[in-house]
Chains A and B, each alone.
Chain A
Amino acid sequence: MDDRELAKAIVAGDRDAFRLLVERESGPVIRACARVLGDRDAAEDVAQDCFVTAYKVIGSWRGEGSLHGWLLRIAINRALRAVKAQRRHFPLEDESGEPLAIPGGSEPLTDVLTVERDRLVQEAVASLPDPYRETIVLRYFGELSIAEIASVTGRPIGTVKTHLGRGLLRLRPALSEVRLT
C-alpha cells in the first residue's frame, strides 16, 4: 500500500491502515525525537502527540513528498518546541539523594563525556536559527535525504544544500568544545 492509498484509507476511517502507518513510522519518529530531546520517554510522548495530530489532519496531506517526511517534520517541530519549553537541567543525584547511575558504568569518565557530548549536540542544534535548525534536524536526526527535505519543506534543493552547509558551520563553535570523533 503506497502513501496515497494509506492516507485515503485512514481518512476513510480504516483503523488498520492507521496502525500500519504507526508501525511503519514509529521507529524513525521516536529516534528523531529522542535525538532532539535527549530523552526516550519524552521522545515517545512527543511521537505519540505527533501521530495523533497526523491522524487528525492527514486529510490535508497533499500527497507531495512522502508520508514519512511529512510525519518527521511534524514530529521534529514538536520536539524542538518541547526543547524550548522544558527546563533543561542535569541533576547529578536522584530524588533520594543517591548519585545517578550512569549508563554503562564500566568507564565512568567516558560515560560522563558521552552524556556531556550529547547535551552539547542537542543544545547546539536546538539553538540554531531557522531554517538551519530544521534542515539540520531533518537531515541528521530524521535521516532524510536532501531531496526529501526539499520535498517536505517546499524549498529548492539548492536552498536546502545552502542551509545545510551554513547550519553545519554554525554548529562548529559549539561542537568544538567536545570532539566527538
Chain B
Amino acid sequence: MNRRTGGDSQFLTTDALAIEAELQVYAAQVAPNPSAAFIDRVMAAAERSPQPIARRSPRSWASELVRAAVMRLGVAIAQIAGGPSIPLRVRIQAGAMLVVVALLITAGAALAAAGASSVVTWVAGPQAPTADSRPSASPTFSPNQPSDTSQPSDHPNGSSTTGTGGQPSQNPGTGGQPSQKPGNHGQPSQNPGNHGQPSQNPGNHGQPSQNPGNRPSVHPNTPNNAGNGG
C-alpha cells in the first residue's frame, strides 16, 4: 500500500477500489532506489547547464511598477510642497511631471469610458425600431396591385379547391388573374363554391371575370371542376 494513497479513496466505487488495489500492489513491487552514482551524475549534468534564471510573473512586474510610480509621485508632491529649501527648478520639474501624470490618467479614463460605452452599445445590439418606423401591421389594399392569388399556385391545377363534393378538383386555376372576382359574395376566393353551385371563378384564362359567378363554366375541365357536387 502506498504511503500517501491509502486514506482518501472513500469516494471511489467498489470496482474502482479493486483497480486501485491492483495498482497499489504493482507500485509496491516496482520501487527501485536510486543507484549510488545517480546524484553525482545529476550534479555533473547540472554543472554543464546554464545557471537558473529567476522569472517574475507578470503580476509581480505590474505590482513593482505601480509601487515605483506611486513612490515617484510621492517624491514629486513632496518636492512641490516642500519648504523654501527646494530650488524652483526642481519644483517646476516635479510640477510638470505631476501635470503629465494627471493628463495621462485623464486620457486613460476617457479612453476607458469610451471603450465601455462602445461595449455597452455593442452588447445591447441595434436599437429597437420606433413606432413611427415600424411597418403597419394592417396591409393596405391597392386596387392596382394584384391579389395574393395572382401568383402561380403550387397546386397542379393552380387552385387549392376545396369542397368539391368529394371530387378532386381539376380546375386549372385562374390563369394568373386576380381571383377576387366579383360575384364571390364574400366567399373565400380559393373556393369556387362548387358544392353544386356554378363556379364563381370558372377558369377564365386571363380574362377578368365579368360573370358574377352564376354561369356554368365553359372550360374543358368544367365537368371536373365547377358544379361537380357529386
Contacts and interface: CB of A to CB of B under 8 A. Distances in A.
B26 A180 contact: yes
Given A22-B42, A59-B52, A169 B4 contact: no
B22 interface: yes
Given A27-B33, A181-B22, A168 B12 contact: yes
A164 B12 contact: yes
Interface residues of A, number: 54
B179 to A, nearest CB: 66
Nearest to B47: A15
A123 interface: no
Interface string B21-64: 11111110111111100110111011101111111010000000
A55 B49 contact: yes
Nearest to B51: A13
A164 B13 CA distance: 11
Contacts, number: 135
A52 interface: yes
Contacts of B3: 143
Interface residues of B, number: 43
Contacts of A48: 38, 41-42, 45
Given A30-B34, A48-B42, A55-B46, A121 B26 contact: yes
A136 B26 CA distance: 13
Interface string A8-42: 00110101001100110011001100110010100
B21 to A, nearest CB: 6
Nearest to A125: B23
30 contacts: A11-B53, A15-B47, A18-B46, A22-B39, A22-B42, A26-B34, A30-B38, A31-B31, A34-B32, A35-B26, A35-B30, A44-B38, A47-B38, A48-B41, A51-B45, A52-B42, A56-B52, A60-B55, A117-B26, A118-B29, A143-B2, A143-B27, A144-B4, A145-B5, A165-B11, A165-B12, A165-B13, A165-B16, A168-B19, A172-B18
Interface of A: 10-11, 13, 15, 18-19, 22-23, 26-27, 30-31, 34-35, 38, 40, 43-44, 47-48, 51-52, 55-60, 62, 114, 117-118, 121, 125, 136, 139-141, 143-146, 148, 161, 164-165, 168-169, 171-172, 175, 179-181
